[in-house]
Copies of this chain bind each other. A is one copy, B any other.
Amino acid sequence: MTVTLKDVATLAGVSVKTVSNVVNGYAFVKPENRRRVEEALAATGYRPNVGARNLRRGRTGFLALMVPELSIPYFGELAGLVITAAQKRGWSVLIEQTQGTRSRERETLSSLGPHLVDGALVHPEALEAADFPSPGEIPLVMLGEHAVDVPIDHVAIDNVLAAQTAVSHLASLGRTRIAAIGRNPARGTSSQRLAGYRTALSAAGLSYSDALVAPAEKWHRSVGAAAMRSLLALPSPPDAVFCFNDLLAIGALRAVAELGLRVPEDVAIVGFDNNEESAFSLPALTTIAPDKTALAEAAIDLVHRRITGDKALPAQDIQTPFALEIRESTRGASA
């Protein structure tokens, strides 16, 4: 039932290649023939067989995007932006979910043959340097996390500086017992945000205490709530908390409310990611807002550059901007 170049060629009375030339915008086709081919194309409703074309061209027209889970708002938002940015360049995006486990991440990475996709954007959570494929495979761009010592393109915000900005904001409000939620030694992001936290503390003349840093294996809302409960149960509980992402912060908000305390009067809270929902929580969440659009576009840009040319370019490390979005959870409700 499907129409091929051959069918179009027969109808137009020219060779297959001439039709191919018209389809691909080759300049030297007699106007008369071009017209007839175009008519035949329209009449038959021809659509190129992408698979065959790519087999011939050695390109697939697909990019892979590897993320932990689409149901996590940050990744849902990011994936949406990546798809939009990729589409502008003529790519379709294939999404792979890893649940953030190292084994699934490795598996996914190694399954990305050069035949399946032209390149991949990966947002690792647990990968280690050794897991990366030998260079020379398909172009890879890492998002958000920096696995050390891997010479691979990388796009992210400055996590350390962003965390520092968030915590400095809390200190500037006069808070002195500033806690953190989200420690997880297995995740590079966690270490970076922790580093920023410590820097900001010492810059503000506050001392660091292990007791105020709550671990969180998964950065989910329920984990944030549990962590907050245990922080509030301390002999001298915190008067501010920096959560390593918005989900943890949303959970923390709930834990505070359940104990009958107020945000920000009793505890000020800052999140990280600026999920859409965070502008509508009660109170609305102060948070670090990475420029996700810039992130997505920079990543697509990089992978595009790798694929078309510059194979030899040394690995890039691009930082995209962020901003501190101050809302009710630290500022208080505006009258």
Contact = CB atoms under 8 A, between A and B. Distances in A.
Nearest to A258: B333
A70 interface: yes
Interface string A56-88: 000010100000011111011101110110000
Nearest to A99: B84
Contacts of A250: 277, 280
Contacts of A113: 2, 47-50
Nearest to A92: B94
Contact of A50 (B70, B115, B251): B115
A282 interface: yes
B83 A76 contact: no
Interface in A250-286: 250-251, 253-254, 257, 276-277, 279-282
A152 interface: no
**Number of identical protomers:** 2
B60 A70 contact: no
Interface in A92-146: 92-97, 113-116, 136
A81 to B, nearest CB: 8
Contacts of A54: 51
A331 interface: no
A279 to B, nearest CB: 8
A48 B1 CA distance: 27
Given A254-B280, A277-B277, A280-B221, A94 B94 contact: yes
- 3 tightest Cβ-Cβ pairs between the two chains A and B: A76-B76, A70-B80, A49-B115
Given A47-B113, A221-B280, 13 more contacts: A2-B115, A48-B113, A49-B115, A55-B55, A70-B70, A70-B79, A76-B76, A80-B97, A84-B97, A92-B116, A93-B95, A251-B280, A254-B280
